[in-house]
Amino acid sequence: MTKGKIVGLEGSFAVAEAVRMANADVIAAYPITPQTHIVERLSEMVADGDLDADFICVESEHSAMSACVGASAAGARVFTCSAGQGLELMHEVLYIPSSMRLPVVAVAANRALSAPLSVWCDHSDVMALRDISWIQMFAENNQQAFDLTTCAYRIAEDKDVLFPTMVHIDGFYLSHVIEDMVLPEEEEVAGFIPDYEHPFVLDPDKPVSMGCYGPPFIYPETKKAQDVAFDNTRPKIQEIWDEFGEIFGRHYSPVESYKMDGARIALLTMGSCSETAMLAVDELREAGIDVGLIRLRLWRPFPFKELREAVKQLDLLVVLDRAISFGMGGPVCSELKSALYNKREDLKIVGFIAGLGGRDIQISEFKYMVTQAQEKVKAIERGEEVETEIIGVREGGGR
């Protein structure tokens, strides 16, 4: 079993520790709340000589990701982090490392999107990144923030993967909250993430052209190749998580469950609110309701198989979204419906939206979702239209 020590760290510092232990070569980042503590901590580590890296204080997030692309193409191990508006400004560049198979590692401290300006957590920024072909995973506590960032390097740099990887940590809930966690020994981490050599780097001695343009006679072939390669990363991700589990004693899988034995109903969550949802499940179980919790750990590539397995015994799946796909409802709920369509005709899926712009989601609200969802199922069975409900919002003006 692993050595290491128990420490109290906020999520941002946990991420910085993971980057330090990964011995990253180049960090390029631009500050934005609630990601700032990560860049500040990394700057200190570089200044103190605890991390032998170049910290490029770029002038924007667009340049942050561009510098990561350049550094990665030149063979370096890189890191960046951002949130909300920063990820939006970076958006154009995010497609580049995935299409060019560069193993950039990034952490997003999830934040709402303007307007109105909000520095607080929700998943609006994540939802704008669904199609960027990055491997994306969610942490729900600071231990996971460390573990998943560590795993992100191994996954991204694996020769059978070579896709950029992003770890989502909820802004403030994880980035700014101090929790107990195990910080493993540096040698152990170094053993888990060995030095890597990208098969194609920018090297004057072995010149290659990267990023040529693709007219219609070749573009679709490049995109199919990318799609197939991305789909094929799934077994490798699990394999690396399993290896991590064996060494460090903490196990991860694409879809994780809580109290699912005998459950007919399940809540589905992503990120830090999963721990609140667990408390709600405990209380509901005590009240005799057969409810469990499903947490999506892996968001991209989407874990179809594991999800179908997890919902096998269910009658009702209650999905929480922390973002709105305007005019469409909850984005996670839409995706789950599409993932399960034609597979489980009898499974009812009901979505709720909550926790926008940093509003806390209470245990009582998770319980409300479960009871209310059962009512909605009855309405669906009566043939009524059931819309996605946004909960925890004041109605009718006033303060």
Partner 1 sequence: MEKEEDLFVPRQVTTEENFAPGHRACIGCGEALAVRYVCKALGKNVIIVTATGCIEIFSSLLPQTSWQMAWIHTLFENVAAVMSGIESAYKVRVRKGKIPDKNVKFVGFGGDGATTDIGIQALSGAMERGHDFLYVCYDNEAYMNTGIQRSSSTPYGAWTTTAPVGKKSSIGQVTWKKNMPEIAVAHNIPYVATASPSYPLDLMAKVKRGAEMDGPAYIHILSVCPTGWRSPTDITIELGRLAVETGVFPLYEVIDGEYNLSVDLPDLKPVTEYLKKQGRFKHLNDDTIATIQTRVEEDYVKLREKAGVK
Binding site for partner 1 (CB under 8 A): 25-26, 28, 52-54, 56-60, 62-64, 66-76, 78, 92-93, 96, 100, 195, 202-215, 218, 222
Given the complex with partner 1, which of 4 and 75 has the nearer CB atom? 75
SS3 386: coil
Comparing C-alpha atoms, which of 82, 85, 167 is closest to residue 118?
A: 85
In the complex, what is the shortest distance from the CB of residue 119 to partner 1, in angstroms, rounded to a whole number?
A: 23
Given the complex with partner 1, which of 57 and 287 has the nearer CB atom? 57
Given the complex with partner 1, which of 6 and 212 has the nearer CB atom? 212
Q: How far is CA 364 from CA 60, 230, 281, 284, 371, in A?
A: 41, 39, 11, 10, 11
In the complex, what is the shortest distance from the CB of residue 49 to partner 1, in angstroms, rounded to a whole number?
A: 12
Here the tokens at position 143 are 């231990």
Comparing C-alpha atoms, which of 256, 10, 45 is closest to residue 142?
A: 10
Given the complex with partner 1, which of 32 and 137 has the nearer CB atom? 32
Assess contact for 255 and 296: CB atoms under 8 A. Answer: yes
In the complex, what is the shortest distance from the CB of residue 90 to partner 1, in angstroms, rounded to a whole number?
A: 11
In the complex, what is the shortest distance from the CB of residue 92 to partner 1, in angstroms, rounded to a whole number?
A: 6
In the complex, what is the shortest distance from the CB of residue 206 to partner 1, in angstroms, rounded to a whole number?
A: 8
In the complex, what is the shortest distance from the CB of residue 153 to partner 1, in angstroms, rounded to a whole number?
A: 16
DSSP notation for 89-116 = HHHHHHHHHHHTT---EEEEEE---SSS
* Phi-psi map region of 85: left, alpha, beta (phi>0 left; psi -120 to 50 alpha): alpha
CB under 8 Å to 157, separation ≥6 — which residues?
Answer: 77, 103, 193, 196, 198
In the complex, what is the shortest distance from the CB of residue 169 to partner 1, in angstroms, rounded to a whole number?
A: 24
In the complex, what is the shortest distance from the CB of residue 222 to partner 1, in angstroms, rounded to a whole number?
A: 7
Given the complex with partner 1, which of 99 and 334 has the nearer CB atom? 99
Given the complex with partner 1, which of 73 and 265 has the nearer CB atom? 73
In the complex, what is the shortest distance from the CB of residue 39 to partner 1, in angstroms, rounded to a whole number?
A: 15
Instruction: Give, in degrees to the nearest 5, the angle at Cα 285 between 284 and 291.
Output: 80
Given the complex with partner 1, which of 60 and 114 has the nearer CB atom? 60
Q: Long-range pairs for 115-120 at CB < 8 Å and ≥24 separation?
A: 118/84, 118/357, 118/358, 119/33, 119/34, 119/84, 119/171, 119/358, 120/34, 120/171, 120/172, 120/357, 120/358, 120/359
Here the tokens at position 239 are 């394999």
Comparing C-alpha atoms, which of 367, 377, 364, 372 is closest to residue 389?
A: 372
Given the complex with partner 1, which of 201 and 339 has the nearer CB atom? 201
φ/ψ (deg, to 5) at 27:
-120, 130
Given the complex with partner 1, which of 92 and 131 has the nearer CB atom? 92
